[in-house]
Chain A
Amino acid sequence: MSNYVTLEQATQLYSCAQARFVLRTVHDARFLKLTRLMKTLDRVLGERIYDEVWRGFRGALRRYLFNISSAPIPFAIVTEESWFAALPNKGALLMSVYPETGDALREVGSLLHSLSQSHANPILDEVLEIGGVRDGNASLVIKELRLVQLTEATLASAGLKRLKVITPQTLTMPEKYDRLIVIGAFRWFPQFVFTAPRAPKIDLVCFKGIIDSPRVDEAFVGSIRSVDLQPAYQTAFDEDGSDICDAEEIVPCINWDRVVQGLLTRVHRTDEEDEVEARLVVLAGSRGVFLDAGGQVLAIKLESSIAANETNQDWINVEMLEPGMALLLRTAGGGDLIAPTANIILGYQAVELRARQNEWKGLLRQNVVEFGMKAVCRKLEHYGSTRAHSWNVRGWMSNRSIKPQNYEDFLAITRLIKAEETAQVVWENACRITAAHQKAGQHIRARLLKEVRRADIRDLRRLGRLDFQLPEEDGGSMTAFVVQSIETKRYNISASHIGQVFEGDEKLWPE
């Protein structure tokens, strides 16, 4: 039976429904000046802000503004030291290309230089003013997973180890907090942070200089409710017109299409025929992974309706993946774990069985290279195949699949490669490999389940990823990544890139 949410827990969450919201605006002259200068530069350059040369500088500047305003970290702790180091040279170059930026660009340069040496942390100073923070009776909510550890380190050095740092993903769990301190602009967070509050008191700490509109949208048009949906703020939002940087302008938003284009142009495609149709899955922490659209993957369901330590993992079809689940991917130990495990199950026969397998796949591939995919499909149809479409044929000759589902298709392949007399034997071999792969899958699942049970799954929810070491034989490790979204577009990807996690290039963000 599931480790379900108790009525007591649910009642506690309902008790937070009318949370008291306090807006705390942080005044910092340098931050405000930087946002104003950014707007000035935008105004001066007009459409030229989208030039390749300027875009990189502008993107980095906005990233910096976002980082220092979305977590209580000192101005000097910058996540892009190389960018700061290159600033003087870059500045000179920009000045020569865009002389009209003149003083504004110079001022930005000197301001950034001064900030990079400043240990001021105005957000943290404001947080310290909030009651209960020093006793650990509050939790900090920050938007970005990648800033959690940096924030924790900053808090630890300030003697605030007991102050927990969480992300909105953690707030999907049925856990009540005494007080939540949300860092940054209202619009940077999913609406449920405010519409399904997990604490009776919520503070929103944001720099003055960021325009925000703290309104929640009704879920259903024309809906009814017993009390007003809008958060009841104790303090009014500053509307004196001095706020000049729109919250949406500096929020991270990776253009995955550009990331993928960049990735595909960098990758040397050696075997065009061994392509698979793939879905791009965006993982927490600005990472991505391609998964075989027709394949399966080990996933952990992290349902919000079940308790925080509950896990439920299984092989599921990639098409059934949903945001909020966690994917288990091999991150160390090399490649797919199933084939080596299946080889152990097959024993001494593994080598011979695999060799026979490679033989017919190689001959099929050779036919495709020689005559082309269309001709091979036609021939296979002629030999009795009912599913000889290009995608299926690609799958059949790929080493990632074992055999066609139907014997008629396989028979047609053996006729094509002139090996019909051995069709039955090779088919039985392939069936044995399939059975071994299935057993291997169950075995790996059981081993992982053991490891996952030992691990504290709360860390997965908090950090968006969790590593699992597999203790046996070939060992290696697997990492669970929380799925953020699944792109609807499908990509043709070399099979060797399936399951390989890659970083979303921050330089491409924000557009």
Chain B
Amino acid sequence: MTLLSVRDLHVHYVTAQGMVRAVDGADLEVPAGSIVGLVGESGCGKSTLGRALMGVLPATARIAGGSIRFEGRDLVPLPERERRPLRWRRMAFVPQTAMNALDPVQRLRTQMLEVLCERGGLSRPAALDRAETLLRLVGLDPHTLADYPHQFSGGMRQRASIALALALEPALVIADEPVTALDVIVQRQVLDVLRDLQHRLNLAMILVTHDMAVVAYACDRVAVMYAGQVVESGPVAAVLEAPFHPYTMGLTHAFPDLRDDAAALVPIEGAPPSLLAPPPGCRFAERCPFAEPNCRAAPPPLATVATDHLAACWRSAAAADLRVRAMRPETWAK
């Protein structure tokens, strides 16, 4: 069952240089109870997309088209007074640095009670009870309720921030780089907490990240973004093992694998196009070793390339051959 379905979403920023098409026709599906990784480079629009879903875009941004269907309703035309009750209750946000979600000089108890009582309408004793349950759920000692977030370690803060997001039992949690700032052992512990919550609460989650290894470890599905668009999506196993988009193929050789004996790493030369005036054809064509003249003429649609697997590439019929060529470093040399 689909919990969230984003269709052809456009989000524009007004800047001094002109209009930036940060999200430019993005499609995304989140089935109920599954963790979807949203990966891409800085500036690809993944964080903007996350914020648009939450309805917390900055004042300079606006949704210029498309739909966000969540629990059967399109959120785009909803006025703020109808969006507001959805936040925390139906969808919640975990930011990259937990200090953005937690007030460092207010006891954790005060902050959790505020959400549970004022937003959730619980009585104070019921809210305290629930707060303790939430902390246990994320692996924190309930005694930390009396502590101030500035006393917490990075991992504890991130756990507290997740507990706060779960306070009113949302169906969807959007986490923006929730483990990027954490050390590897704590990162693993927080990812294990997220997976455990998914199973226990049947929670759906969008995990915004730049790290393919985090996606492989923690996610059921993945959507790869490039220059404002989702260029490939599907189950993690399918996308990682048999990618159809050359950008995804390139990414899988671009960073080291601890368990794999030092095969040469191959960078994807170049940089994504400016989103002030994106090129008319495929946005990856400039960096793509397999681009043909017609790739630059028209944008490829996000189309079904295998069961439950979408990709936006004019050459997806030749993917099996391209995958073999993408494994050779000389293919990517410029």
- Our verdict on whether A and B bind, yes or no, reads no
A contact residues vs B (CB 8 Å cutoff): none
B contact residues vs A (CB 8 Å cutoff): none
